[in-house]
Amino acid sequence: MLKAYRGELLHFLSDPAKGCLEESYQHFDDGLLIIKDGLVEQVGDASELLSTLDPSVEITHYESGLIMPGFIDTHVHYPQTEMIASYGEQLLEWLENYTFPFERQFEDFEHGKKVAEFFLTQLLAAGTTTALVFGTVHKESVEAFFTVAQQKKLRMICGKVLMDQNCPDYLSDTAQTGYDDSKALIEKWHDVDRLQYAITPRFAPTCSAEQLQKAGQLLAENPSVYIHTHLSENKDEIAWVKALFPDNDGYLDVYDQHKLLGRRSVFAHGVHLHDCECERLGETGSAIAFCPSSNLFLGSGLFNLKQAQKYNVNVGYGTDIGAGTTFSMLSTLNEGYKTQQLRADKLSPIQSFYLATLGGAVALDLEGTIGNFTKGAEADFIVLDYHATELMSRRMQHCRNLSEKLFILSMLGDERHVKATHIMGERV
């Protein structure tokens, strides 16, 4: 069945940083998005498309709003929802003092379901329609997450954490149980409806070489699943990896030697990377999740986006809840801009909104499926409201072009400015 949505409309066709800026996106002051059975059928100027559209098709008109693809969060921990804003520590102490004790609760499936329900409601309210999500070490945490995401008909990627050393006993699996549980979850959930599985070694310090080897084996046996882990977030963490894996040539090499790099591998943070590591990420098609809110909160450092772009590394935005302090992708863009300012690098609003939508889809190897309005893409989209707050509304009066509008949305915007979220065409 056909449906149509009318209003100002924006989506990306390619990376503005790579080719011609003007050709990287389509923007219609008065656009029409036509959806057929939950998928994008056509997008264009309302005046042109309306003349050929069957008059019986229902049209929803979003005036004074901006219709765009749903945001994509390429790194987030659903079990850390209720421990957001835990005071005072950098990464390693934060994990030990707050995170590990907290994640213990997710051995309980019912607890996982309750938190997953709340987490996904928050994400949708913030306009995020797809995310790459950490569970905990417990397979029940992933069962709970997928159960709720499936009910909501969402495209979500999740995995059970692998960690068999340098963590509390109550949170530890073994190389073999981690492999067995992940395999069972892949068989049950991967590519069921819109759900996909990510093999999820927490990070090199909490994984033995045997566990990483088994993760590589699992990937070789299931090449369409993801790898999702952390990389070079914090200087003490990097020194620890060096001590734990003295025979490897740096942090990324630990993952590389275990065959964990590739088109569906996503590494969170990558704040302190050497050029040769970026080069390797680029040539393997691996992605980095840029998590500015988390990097500032934990004092981890300032991600070097220019360096990643130089080596053609795919980059998406991540909120990294609960080290990140917001579910809002608009607020995350705000933090991203400011981190680049501190590096004396300019991050343009066009580039920011690309990274939050199509860039995220490319990072997740889901281009053509989500992230823009090409024909056949899943119609997950949002409507941003310029007038949800008095301040933004006033600021918008002095706005001259699309770039300025996007910049103001990203500096002043948050959940309040997400007027509607649609999943497969349906408003939720």
**By rule CB under 5 A, what string of x and - marks binding of each residue 228-267 to Zn ion?**
----------------------------------------
The footprint of Zn ion on this chain (CB under 5 A) covers a number of residues equal to: 2
In the bound complex, what is the minimum distance in angstroms from residue 23's beta carbon to ligand GUN?
36
> Whole-angstrom Cα distance, residue 276 to residue 271?
14
Applying CB under 5 A, among 320, 335, 378, 380 the residue interacting with Zn ion is: 320
276's CB contacts (< 8 A; 6+ apart) are 250
Half-sphere exposure of 408 (CA within 13 A, CB side): 24
Residue nearest to Zn ion (CB): 320
> Whole-angstrom Cα distance, residue 29 to residue 10?
9
Please name the residue that has the structure tokens 């939720």: 428
Residues shown for the chain: 428
Closest to ligand GUN by CB, 35 or 161: 161
End-to-end CA distance of the chain: 18
73 makes contact with Zn ion (CB under 5 A): no
Closest to Zn ion by CB, 196 or 300: 300
164 makes contact with Zn ion (CB under 5 A): no
Closest to ligand GUN by CB, 203 or 407: 203
H-helix or E-strand spanning residue 376:
none
Using CB under 6 A, list all residues that contact ligand GUN: 77, 91, 95, 99, 202-203, 230, 233, 294, 320, 323
Question: 232, 273 in Cβ contact below 8 A?
Answer: yes
In the bound complex, what is the minimum distance in angstroms from residue 268's beta carbon to Zn ion?
5
Q: Which does 99 bind (CB under 5 to 8 A by kind): ligand GUN, Zn ion, none?
A: ligand GUN
**Binding to Zn ion in span 261-290, by CB under 5 A:** 268
Task: Write out the two tokens for 127.
Answer: 């306009």
Could you please report the per-residue DSSP string of 290-353?
A: E-HHHHHHTT-----HHHHHHTT-EEEE---TTTS--S-HHHHHHHHHHHHHHTT----HHHHH
In the bound complex, what is the minimum distance in angstroms from residue 154's beta carbon to ligand GUN?
22
Q: Which does 200 bind (CB under 5 to 8 A by kind): Zn ion, ligand GUN, none?
A: none
Closest to ligand GUN by CB, 197 or 297: 297
**Binding to Zn ion in span 343-372, by CB under 5 A:** none
Tell how strand 2-12 and strand 58-69 pair up.
parallel
Question: 249, 286 in Cβ contact below 8 A?
Answer: no
Question: 120, 154 in Cβ contact below 8 A?
Answer: yes
103 makes contact with Zn ion (CB under 5 A): no
Closest to ligand GUN by CB, 317 or 386: 317
Task: Write out the two tokens for 417.
Answer: 């400015």
Closest to ligand GUN by CB, 99 or 334: 99
Closest to ligand GUN by CB, 17 or 298: 298
In the bound complex, what is the minimum distance in angstroms from residue 236's beta carbon to ligand GUN?
11
In the bound complex, what is the minimum distance in angstroms from residue 161's beta carbon to Zn ion?
10
Give residues in contact with Zn ion (CB under 5 A). 268, 320
